[in-house]
Each structure stands twice: as structure tokens, then as C-alpha cells.
Structure 1
Amino acid sequence: MAAFRPRMESRRDGIEVVDGWRRSGASGCVELWRANCASGASGDYVSQDPRLFVVLEPLAAPMAFRDAGRQVAVSTGSGFSFVPAGVRLSSCFAGATSILHLDVHLSAEWLREMIGEDGALAEPRLMASDERALSLARMLAAECASATPLPPLYGDSLTAALISAAMGATVPVARKRSGLPKRKLDAAIGYIEANCGRPIRLQELADLTGMTQSHFSHAFKAATGVPPHRWQMQARIRKAQDLLKRSDASLTEIAAETGFSDQPHFTRVFRQIIGRTPAAWRDAPG
């Protein structure tokens, strides 16, 4: 499954990017940027794909957004803007400030599946504020900047939840939160267990069960009590426990075998789930 590549054209004047991170998947690309903006700084941006622009921290000076002359939003606070594909967005800063923001570039096909065929995809929405959406955006930003990123299932689930909260998904809440039928649940669990040591995308599980990503994620949690990425992490730890008991493999070897980035990452997650380090668990009697 090919990673999504954003198609953005930009012009910046007085805006200096000082740090940036990126995570890509099949459904979209998440970018986290920190920039310093001089007084009077401006930017002009247009993308061939829809995107969500989220200001994560309050600004020291007002920022004005203009959407092709039709809408204007001025703000110094956190907020998110939905920008449809092909819509030009301009920004201007009334004073010097630093800005930390998230750019979520989205596959139009994936977004249409998420929120349905309606006018929401064609209408810009500038600097809206919703605490749940902003909280999800900050979690996604933390995952994006993490030196030891969690499995792709986590980022995919966060992205789907953020878009649902920001856009108002059209899938009825009652249907989304119903549990998975046993046949689909067994298929999803079997797939996660068999592939737990490699990155799994939420889209793989959605395709397997014939559901949208958002619907599957909510239904899986309703059926099991945990989100898909947590189930995968627990499956990795169960596999690690089996290896710890029946082999003399080193912790580094077991970490690699079970899909962790390194031995410290493995130890940290093992302790979080089991309550002891892998070495202490292996040495315990019984």
C-alpha cells in the first residue's frame, strides 16, 4: 500500500521554519511544523488535496486567514481550519510570534468515505474551535514528533478520530459504536495476531471487514474494550512472553522479533502492560 504524498505549493515571506516532523500513510500525511514569524509575515498556500490545518498553541500576535477573498478569520488562539482541495489560503501576522501547527493532508477518496458525499468537502472552514478535536490533534502531534513512534494503527486511528471530530462524520454515532459481528471480530483479531510484529494500517483491517476506518475503529473498541493499536501492542507482548519463557534469546533479539524499534522501547511497553520488566518477568518463578 503506497504512502500518500502531499501536493502543496507555498510562498512564505518572513516565516522561518525551525523544526518539522512527518508521518505518512495510505490515507494521508501528517506534518508538524514550528516556525518563527516576523511582524507582517505572510504566507500563501494551495494544495491539490484537502487538508486540515491546526494551530496547536496560542499565538503572541493575531494571525489573519483569508480564503480567496471570501472568508477572513483573525485569531490568537488554538483552532483548526479545513481547506478543500484547490482552495488557496493566505495568512498574515500582525506581530512577531512563534507558531506550532499540524498539517493533515488527506486523500480525497479516503475523506469522502469518512464523512460522506456532501457539501462539507467543498466548503472551507476557518479557525473553528472544538476541544475534542484539538485534544486529538495534540495527541497526533505528539505521535508525529515521537522518537519511538507507536504502531501505524495508532496514528491511523487518531487521524480518523480527528477528522470525525473536526468535520462531523455523517456515519450515525449509534451505528459506529455498535460492536463488531463475531465473524468480523474473529477475522480482525486473527489478522492482528498473525501480523502483530509488523506495522499494520487501519485501512487493512477496514478492508478486511468491509467497513470504513472510523466505523471499524469504534466498533472494534466497543467489542473488545481496547482500540486496535492497543490490541496489537498486547499481542506483541504476549508473543514476547512466549519467547522469554521458551528460548534463551536476548532482550534485543526478542524486541526485534516482536516488532519493537529497540530494546528500551520493548522494555518500556512490557513494563506498562505487565507491570515488570522483561528480565524480571523471565526470572520470576512459575
Structure 2
Amino acid sequence: MLARVDAVAPLPENVLSLSTARRVWNGVSLDVNEWRGSGRVAHQFPHQTETRLIALLEEVGSPCEPRLRENRPCPASYRPRHMDFAPAGMEMWGYSADVRFVRDATLMFDFAAMDERLATRFDREAVSTPRLRFADDRIWTLVKLLAEVVNDSDPSAQLYGDGLTVAIMARLFADPPQPGTDGKGLAPWQLRRVVDHLDAHLPERVDLARLAALAGLSQSHFSRAFKASTGMAPYRWQLDARIRRAQALLIDSRATLDQVAEATGFADAVHFGRTFRKLIGATPATWRRDRTS
């Protein structure tokens, strides 16, 4: 589910504009917010009834500061790329003495949905313990990658985001490893069933939960096993399969680039061409000409 909100009212004092992009993966809701302001800003974080992870992705102006009360400075010292974790029901405020631009990401966790879909036991102490201005480069990078595809309608963005949310939750909540997750790949029948499903539904959007269910595994176990078997994450396998289908169309038909893009699930010829060149090293037109002339 994708959504975008370009006007939010009322805006906090000295905030000139705020836009929010929203998406849900795996029981994790993501809000990516872009703020523009001038001067002192103090605002209460939304979604207080949810368990939240807030990651600061960009800031211009005075450093942003998380607070438990509007007028009570944060007890933790500033760190670049800091994040804040707030259990459900915990009040939090954001403060800056002179903000110009901020881009942040807020992840909200639905543990009932995650328990059911991921078949994972979460460390309850990690879930219930607040953390202010903590730093973890791996989690921050995963959140940034997730934020970059919040508006991406490409079919492979579903598997990509599903995988990122699994990795974020595993790292954030330190779930204990499951028996049998020692790096072994999928059994031949599991791999065959999953690949057949991906091929049958190419280039449609496919959920990681569905692939894991086909193999009878949790999503985190499945992701590790699939990569051990194929050398690729599931989203990359699907993307490569779409490019292989595009190559067949380029050679075997006179379809235009727009038609090939549509047949393989890309938004348009520009998106298709950019992805094709990134993976193959040549534009679709050049690749086709070199093989058909």
C-alpha cells in the first residue's frame, strides 16, 4: 500500500511545509517525512499509541533533538545518524533551535501481524525498552534503503522492502536464531517450488510472506536460505528474471521499448532503460542492435 500526503495541518510553529510518504511492508508501516522550516521548532511526535523507530536521515540547521517532554532537554548527547526507539504509549517530542530542512523515517510495528507473518519470537525486553539517540549503522542504512523505495511502484520493490523490514526487525529486536538457520540453502523441492511461483507470476508483485510459506519457513530463515542457494536475495532474483524476459523480447520481437517495459513490469521506458543498463552494462537499444544487426 502506497500513499502520499502533501499537506498536513496544522503545522507546528516555524514549520513551513511538511510532506509524508507512507507504505506498509510485513506489518511495518513506514512514514518518510520531509520538513522545511525557519527558526525554533518543538513538536510532539505522532503515532504515540504505536511502537516506533525514528531515524534521522538528513538535517540542515541546528541538530534535531528527541525529548520526552517539550521543555526537558535530551539526556543523551548528539550523535550523527542517530535513531530513537519508543515503545507504544511513550510520549516523544522533536526539538531544533533553528531548523531548515529535515528528512526522517518513522517505522511503526504491528507485533500481532509480525508474529503471525514472520513466525518469529521477539525479545520482549528489547520491544519495551526506550532508546534515545542510539546509533547502529546497519539499522540506519537499512532504514535509509527502505525510505528510498517508499514511492517505488516497481513490482520488485515489494520483495525488496519485505526483505529490508525482516532485516531491520531481526537487528533491532535481536530475535534468537532459529534451529537450522546455519547458512544452509533450500532443499531442491523448496527452491523449485519458489522459483516456479516467481516465474508463473512474473512480472507481478510478489510478497516475501508467500514465498516463505511455499517453502514452509519463516521469512528471515527463508531469505537466508534462498540467498545461500542462489547467491541472490529474492527481490534480485525476480528483477533478474524480468530483465531476462526483456532480453528475450528485445531479440525475438519488434516490440518498442515502451512495450517491453510494460510487459516486464517497469513504469516506463526510462525506468526500464535505467535498470537494464545498471544490470547489463548497456542500454536496451544498444544491446538489441548488437545482437540483431
Same fold (TM over 0.5): yes
The CA deviation at 1:154 is 1.1
- Mapped to 1, the partners of 2:216 and 2:130 lie a distance apart of 30
Deviation for aligned residue 1:205:
1.3
Segment of structure 1 superposing worse, 161-170 or 188-197: 161-170
**Secondary structure of the structure 1 residue equivalent to 2:139:** helix
CA RMSD of superposed structures (Å): 3.2
Question: How far is 1:144 from its partner?
Answer: 2.4
Give the C-alpha shift of residue 130 in structure 1.
0.8
Greater shift in the superposed pair: 113-122 or 219-228: 113-122
Q: Which residue of 2 aligns with 1:259?
A: 265
1:66 to 65, 68, 72: 68
Would the aligned equivalents of 1:143 and 1:150 in 2 still touch at CA under 8 Å? no
SS at match of 1:236: helix
Query: Partner of 1:203 in structure 2?
Result: 209
Structure 1 runs not aligned, ≥5 long: none
- Counterparts in 2 of 1:183 and 1:65: CA distance versus 1, 3 Å: farther
Report deviation, 1:139.
1.6
Q: CA deviation at 1:94?
A: 4.0
CA distance in 2, matches of 1:215, 1:36: 41
Alpha-carbon deviations, 1:86-127, whole Å to 9, x = none?
Answer: 333233334445322101122222444445253322222222
Indicate the residue corresponding to 2:189 in structure 1. Answer: 183
Instruction: Read off the aligned partner of 2:55 and give its amino acid letter.
Output: V
Q: Give per-residue Cα distances to partners, 1:245-274, cap 9 Å, x unaligned.
A: 322222211111111111111122222222
Partner letter of residue 220 of structure 1?
Answer: F
| Distance change (3 Å), C-alpha of 1:176 and 1:266 | farther
> Are 1:159 and 2:158 counterparts?
no
Q: Identity of aligned pairs, percent?
A: 29
**2:109 is aligned with 1:106:** yes
CA–CA distance in 2 between the matches of 1:53 and 1:217?
Answer: 25
Aligned-partner residue type, residue 80 of structure 2: G
User: Structure 1 residues 209 and 107 mapped into 2: Cα distance closer, same or farther (>3 Å)?
Assistant: farther
Partner of 1:223: 229
The alignment of Structure 1 onto Structure 2 pairs a total of residues equal to 279
Correspondence for 1:90: 93
Separation in 2 of the partners of 1:139 and 1:25?
A: 13
Deviations 1:163-199 (A, max 9, x none): 2223323225971633222221221111112212111
Normalising by structure 1, what TM-score? 0.83
Superposition TM-score, scaled by structure 2 size: 0.81
